[in-house]
Amino acid sequence: MPLSGEVCVVTGACGFLGGKLVRLLLEEEKLTEIRLLDKNIRPELIQSLEGCRGEAKLSVFEGDIRDSELLKSLCRGVSLVFHTASLIDVTGAIAYSKLHEVNVKGTQLLLEACMQENVASFIYTSSIEVAGPNHHGDPIINGNEDTEYLACLKFPYSQSKKEAERLCLNAQGEMLQNGGRLATCALRPMYIYGEGCRFTLGHMRDGIRNGDVLLRTSKPEAKVNPVYVGNVALAHLQAARALRDPEKRSVVGGNFYYISDDTPPVSYSDFNHAVLSPLGFSIQERPSLPFSILYIICFLMEVLKAVLYPILRFTPPLNRQLLIMLNTPFTFSYQKAKQDLGYAPRYDWAEARKRTTDWLASVLPRERERINAK
């Protein structure tokens, strides 16, 4: 059901996914207003949205997700919230206390504001990392929402996302001030790639430093299913439409959905090669060291980090949990999202790959110059 006439909020609106979602909403829906919340508003992004906003009003709120008064003002008169804002940390560089403050406490405060201000629908951007992989590296091939798996999450980031997702789903059916009920759902995208992805950009930079040879950190058989950012944004829109439909609302509310697309299952390292090989990058045939040796090195580095913590703070580029994540087959189907939300990927692998590679090509000269100047 279309979102015509609605007033909605997008948190993390200037982020990698948030910016794509705002643009999609402007292009495909006749919304009355979109309120953009971000801690760091990017004027160039806001200006670029002006050309596609039509009659919709764009309201900018620059501030912290932990500011409860700001959140109440943000949610006043709103019917729908997309909560994409999050601190992302895969190396352990950010203290758990800060991750909890932003990812968990921020979500709780936003949900409370929604209930106080009579927001009808809440969509949370979760992560594949709330599912695993676990510290044993147990694989999942083509899993779904009913797949049983003992996660045993070790990453502070993964733990914070899992807690925030639980808050979101537990808020399903909560009473609003006007007597209505809040409907919530959570989307669990796979590794998101596309134009603006800082992780792909980071791997390209490492490749430049290594003479245009990409470092291999994952075994070829450790296949995952990356998902293009444009398809993830579309899944959010489809979830919002489903929550507005009285018949689908009761089916979707309180549930989580895995979001993938038709990108071929591939290891993380081979995915980087797939989008960078047209630009002349090659890849190592095998990791520099066997997995078992890398695991021991990661363990020793974590011990050293803990010992030196009171005196010196440093973050190893690789830790055991990240090593396991990079080397565990972990793929999921989007069929439940297709069934309940009406989600179907809009961008196939060929187009998604081309868009990503074209973006990388556009920034490659600047990155080469910056790195070679050092």
CA nearest 123: which of 234, 5, 2, 247? Answer: 234
Active site residue 258: no
For residue 210, the SS3 value is: coil
Phi-psi region of 289 (alpha: psi -120 to 50; beta: other; left: phi over 0): beta
Q: Alpha-carbon distance 127 to 334, whole Å?
A: 14
CA distance 103 to 126: 10
Length, in residues, of the chain = 374
Q: Is 206 helix (H, G, I), strand (E, B) or coil?
A: helix
DSSP string, 58-81: EEEEES-TT-HHHHHHHHTT-SEE
> What is the number of other CB atoms lying within 10 angstroms of the CB of residue 108?
16
Taking the C-alpha atoms of residue 177 and residue 258, their distance in angstroms, rounded to an integer, is: 32
**Packed helices 16-28 and 229-244: angle between N→C axes, nearest 10 degrees:** 50
Contact 114, 180 (CB under 8 A): no
User: Rounded to whole angstroms, how far apart are CA atoms 360 and 71?
Assistant: 36
Is there a contact between 133 and 325 (Cβ–Cβ < 8 Å)?
yes
Which of 96, 124, 149, 157 is flagged as catalytic? 157
Residues annotated as part of the active site = 157
